[in-house]
Amino acid sequence: MSAKRRRITSMISGTMLIIALLSLAINRFEFGLDFTSGTLIEVGYEQAVDPADVRQQLVSAGYEEAVVVTFGSDRDLLVRLPVEAGEDDLAAASAASTLGVEVLEALRSASDQNIEMRRSEYVGPKVGAELAEKGALALLVALGIVMMYVAMRFQYKFGVAAVLALMHDVIVVLGVISLFHLTFDLTVMAALLAVIGYSLNDTIVVFDRARENFRTMRTNDPEVVLNTTLNQVISRTFVTSLTTMLALFSMLIIGGESIRGFAIALIVGVGVGTYTSLNISCNFLMRLKIQKEDLAVPVKEGEEVDSMP
């Protein structure tokens, strides 16, 4: 990768990061019921039912902000209702059972199936704050473990570069979620962790080939070694990302509202992760001044070393 191309990719990444950070500062997140207050109602049907149809029935009954997702099977549904504006948490908690009965009656009146109430409970703001805190902690722990693994498996400069690349991907995905006002819930949090895993896999493939080339190529120019590495892995990376994207777009189109945020977050993450592994990860290695000597195999005392012409 030439110096000019490195500057261009750095400018593109810098622009994406600035837009993402500005969106996070201005728009923030629209947290779902997983991280806020609301009522969870689990109902069971006799036969398979479409969550979109059930949600439309609830909207017609006056529950316009209801979220309906399958829960375990296509006959079990989980209905999520946020707390109404101005409603006290204590009052909302005491009214959770009554609200569950009202929702059940609305569903029974709109369906000819026998519908059973499984549970109706209130999720308070304390639980939501705890979930948000543990989710953020999970992301930080994942990044820390990745850095330690790559540093031990390769070399500490590779570990730093891998974590910087992963942070780049996570920030961009979070920025897109904030910019387009997507609901941030536990499925999106799971998507972020999946993005870390996917991006790390691509980055490890690049770094593994780079380490091999640094040890075998007869040149001390890191730019030549990294360019050769990228040429060797680019086709594999594109094919892998393409097949993954086909599966994700299928999820987005036919998966329904319940996994829409998950699919979008992963689509953005896979796209950005592919760009990062082919452009930004090696940029970070160049910035950290990676050299052939950094990856030299240590020679044990008394062991002969073959000289290379």
113 phi, psi to nearest 5 deg: -90, 160
Q: What is the pLDDT of residues 238-249, one digit of tens each?
A: 898 999 999 999
At residue 202 the predicted structure's pLDDT band, cuts being 50, 70 and 90, is confident
Contact 79, 41 (CB under 8 A): yes
Q: What is the pLDDT of residues 109-143, one digit of tens each?
A: 888 888 888 888 777 666 666 777 777 788 788 77
Is residue 309 pLDDT above 50, yes or no?
no
At residue 149 the predicted structure's pLDDT band, cuts being 50, 70 and 90, is confident
Contact 234, 206 (CB under 8 A): no
Task: Share the mean pLDDT of the chain.
Answer: 80
At residue 301 the predicted structure's pLDDT band, cuts being 50, 70 and 90, is low
**Which of 114, 85, 82, 116 has its CA nearest to residue 101?**
116
Q: Reduced to 3 states, what is the DSSP secondary structure of residue 42?
A: strand
48's CB contacts (< 8 A; 6+ apart) are 74, 75
**Is the pLDDT higher at 272 or at 90?**
272
Q: What is the pLDDT of residues 27-52, one digit of tens each?
A: 888 777 667 767 888 888 888 888 88
**Strand ranges, E, within the chain:** 30-31, 38-44, 67-70, 76-82, 116-123, 183-184
In this structure, the strands spanning 183-184 and 30-31 are parallel
Q: Reduced to 3 states, what is the DSSP secondary structure of residue 290?
A: coil
Both tokens assigned to 236: 């594999």
Mean pLDDT along residues 288-307: 61
**Position of tokens 């699919």?**
263
120 phi, psi to nearest 5 deg: -145, 115
Both tokens assigned to 218: 């007869």
Mean pLDDT along residues 285-305: 66
Phi-psi sector, 295: left (phi>0), alpha (psi -120 to 50), beta: alpha
Q: What is the pLDDT of residues 47-91, one digit of tens each?
A: 888 888 888 888 888 888 787 877 767 788 888 887 665 455 555
**Which of 118, 141, 134 has its CA nearest to residue 42?**
118
213's CB contacts (< 8 A; 6+ apart) are 225, 228, 229, 232
Residue 72's CB: how many other CB atoms inside 10 A?
10
**Which of 202, 197, 194 has its CA nearest to residue 235?**
202
The pLDDT of residue 305: 45
